[in-house]
Chains A and B, each alone.
Chain A
Amino acid sequence: MRVFILMIVLVLHSNAAGAETIEIKVNGLVCGFCAQGIEKTLRRNPATVEVLVSLEERLVAVETKEGQDIPDEQLETALRDSGYDVTEITRSNDSLNEIRERLESDAQ
């Protein structure tokens, strides 16, 4: 039993360490041309793997390197430098592909 619990704890810890996706809700996100700066700015961060932007959901999602994170202050600065205001930041284990599928599902 103890081994089983230990295994569960290890698995959960492993997933937590791999919580590499940051979802940022953004206000003012209405123009794809103008929003190019978001991707450019966030890609400059060494912890970033990939960036997803959705005007429909007012969402910016950032996949970070394993075990790495981008502090909220840096995210807010990056979005402000791109011309937008952050309203909410959450972190999850969802991959960027899963988020992309979720957005497509919501759109249908």
Chain B
Amino acid sequence: MFQRLLRPLGALSLIGFVWLPAFAKPIAYANGTTVMAEYGAGTMREFQVFYAPRYFLSAGLGHMALDSDVNDGSMDISYARLNYLVKRWNMEKAQANIFGWGSLGSATTSDENSNRLAWNAGLQVDYETRRTYSSFKTDYYYSASAFARRIDTLQLGVAPYEHDYSTLATWFVVQARHYTGDMYEGVEVAFLLRLFKGNAWIEAGPTTDGKVQAMFMFNF
């Protein structure tokens, strides 16, 4: 029974989390709230809210709607997630982090109206200066007797100038992503322009398939 419930949501969770903004840090700051909305290449719309009671921990809720590219299927997912800062290195002119997270969710599909259950666990390692950014993220998705899949994401970013606290930041980011489990053949590449100033962050760009990906994030 439990395995049967897990199966479809696991698949949905897998697809949904692929589009999470890997560049962003999942924890803002103590007593900080992060709101994020994303439009992913015509197939995904997502909204997330995270609250961090401590600088190393955040918890939140999200909702995502997916429309399949290859058939008429659609799905809605609601989930709860915990993010944890495993380790941070604050250097003189750089910062590096290791984050871990886990989530549990419920979903409905166009095929069935019943709710499904699955879980996800992931890890992110990042290193950034005021001119360069690099991150590697790996996500593992499991649904009993349905699948066990992994998605690896590498991001490399460069800033044409060093922004300061009150000035606009501009970044050019290349993203490469590899999927296991028959989700995507080869490596998917996207080119993103990222802008942020104050507590607002926006990014957009094309994938190599010619689709648009966009994301907005706000901290308060």
- Same complex for A and B? Answer yes
Q: With a CB–CB cut-off of 8 A, which chain A residues contact B201?
A: 33
Contact B92 A34 (CB under 8 A): no
Q: Chain B 141-171, CB within 8 Å of chain A: the 1/0 string?
A: 0000000000000000000001111110100
Contact B95 A81 (CB under 8 A): no
Q: In the complex, what's the smallest C-beta–C-beta distance from A11 to chain B, in angstroms?
A: 35
What number of B residues sit within 8 Å (CB to CB) of A?
Answer: 34
- The B contact surface, by secondary structure, is loop
Q: Chain B 115-138, CB within 8 Å of chain A: the 1/0 string?
A: 000000000000011100000000
Contact B166 A32 (CB under 8 A): yes
Contact A27 B92 (CB under 8 A): yes
Contact A31 B30 (CB under 8 A): no
Contact A30 B30 (CB under 8 A): no
Q: Chain A 42-58, CB within 8 Å of chain B: the 1/0 string?
A: 00000000000111101
What number of A residues sit within 8 Å (CB to CB) of B?
Answer: 25
Instruction: Pick the 7 closest A-B CB pairs, nearest first.
Output: A37-B29, A28-B90, A81-B30, A28-B95, A27-B90, A53-B165, A85-B90
Contact A30 B31 (CB under 8 A): no
Contact B169 A30 (CB under 8 A): no
- Answer yes or no: B87 CB below 8 A from chain A CBs: no
Q: Chain A 21-43, CB within 8 Å of chain B: the 1/0 string?
A: 00000111011111111101100
A29 to B179, CA, bound (A): 34
Given A30-B95, A37-B28, A55-B130, is A84 in contact with B163 using a C-beta cutoff of 8 Å? no
- Answer yes or no: B42 CB below 8 A from chain A CBs: no
Q: In the complex, what's the smallest C-beta–C-beta distance from B41 to chain A, in angstroms?
A: 24
Contact A31 B128 (CB under 8 A): yes
Contact B92 A41 (CB under 8 A): no
Contact A37 B32 (CB under 8 A): yes
- Answer yes or no: B4 CB below 8 A from chain A CBs: no
Contact B165 A55 (CB under 8 A): yes
- Answer yes or no: A82 CB below 8 A from chain B CBs: yes
Taking a contact as CB atoms closer than 8 A, the residue among A28, A36, A56, A85 that contacts B162 in the complex is: A56
Contact B92 A54 (CB under 8 A): no
Taking a contact as CB atoms closer than 8 A, the residue among A30, A33, A56, A85 that contacts B129 in the complex is: A30
Q: With a CB–CB cut-off of 8 A, which chain A residues contact B91?
A: 27-28
In the complex formed, the residue of A with least CB distance to B32 is A37
Contact A54 B29 (CB under 8 A): no
A40 to B167, CA, bound (A): 17
